[in-house]
A and B are shown apart, each in its own frame.
Chain A
Amino acid sequence: MKKTILSLTLLLATGLLFAQKKTTTSAVISFDATTSIDKLPKAENKTAIASLDTKTGKLAFEVTIKNFAFSNPRIQEHFNGEGWMNSDKFPTAVFKGDITNLKAINFSKDGTYSVTVLGEIIIHGVTRPIEADGSIVVSGSKISTTSAFKIKLEDFGVNGGAIAAGKVSKEPTITVAAEF
Chain B
Amino acid sequence: MTTKINKPWKKWLIAAFALLLAGVAIAWYIFTEKFTDTNAVKADYTVNAMDFIKEFQQNTRQANDKYSEKIIVVNGAVSSVEMADTTANIKMTDSLSGSYIIFAFQEQHLAEAKALKAGDKVSIKGSCSGGVHSEILDVDNISFKRCAVNK
Contact = CB atoms under 8 A, between A and B. Distances in A.
Given A25-B91, A47-B104, A69-B145, A64 B136 contact: no
Nearest to B142: A64
Interface residues of B, number: 30
Interface in A6-23: 23
B130 A91 contact: yes
Interface in B43-76: 64, 68-69
Interface stretch (B12-20, B28-36, B114-122): B28-36
B78 to A, nearest CB: 14
- Contact-residue bracket for chain A: 20 to 34
B145 A25 contact: no
Contacts of A179: 83
B127 to A, nearest CB: 9
Interface string B116-147: 00000000000001101011110001011110
A68 B127 CA distance: 11
B33 A62 contact: no
A104 B56 CA distance: 43
A28 interface: yes
A26 B135 contact: no
A7 B91 CA distance: 35
Interface string A52-74: 00000000101010111101111
A49 B83 contact: no
Given A66-B69, A69-B145, A71-B35, A47 B137 contact: no
B27 to A, nearest CB: 11
Contact of B89 (A26, A62, A88, A92): A26
Interface of B: 30-31, 33-35, 64, 68-69, 82-85, 87, 89, 91, 100, 102, 104, 129-130, 132, 134-137, 141, 143-146
Interface of A: 23-28, 40, 45-47, 49-51, 60, 62, 64, 66-69, 71-74, 88, 91-92, 94, 177, 179
Given A50-B136, A179-B83, 10 more contacts: A27-B84, A40-B31, A46-B104, A47-B89, A47-B141, A64-B130, A64-B143, A66-B129, A69-B145, A73-B35
23 contacts: A23-B136, A24-B82, A25-B89, A26-B84, A28-B84, A40-B31, A45-B104, A46-B84, A46-B87, A46-B89, A49-B137, A51-B137, A64-B130, A64-B132, A66-B68, A66-B129, A67-B129, A67-B144, A69-B146, A74-B33, A92-B132, A177-B85, A179-B83
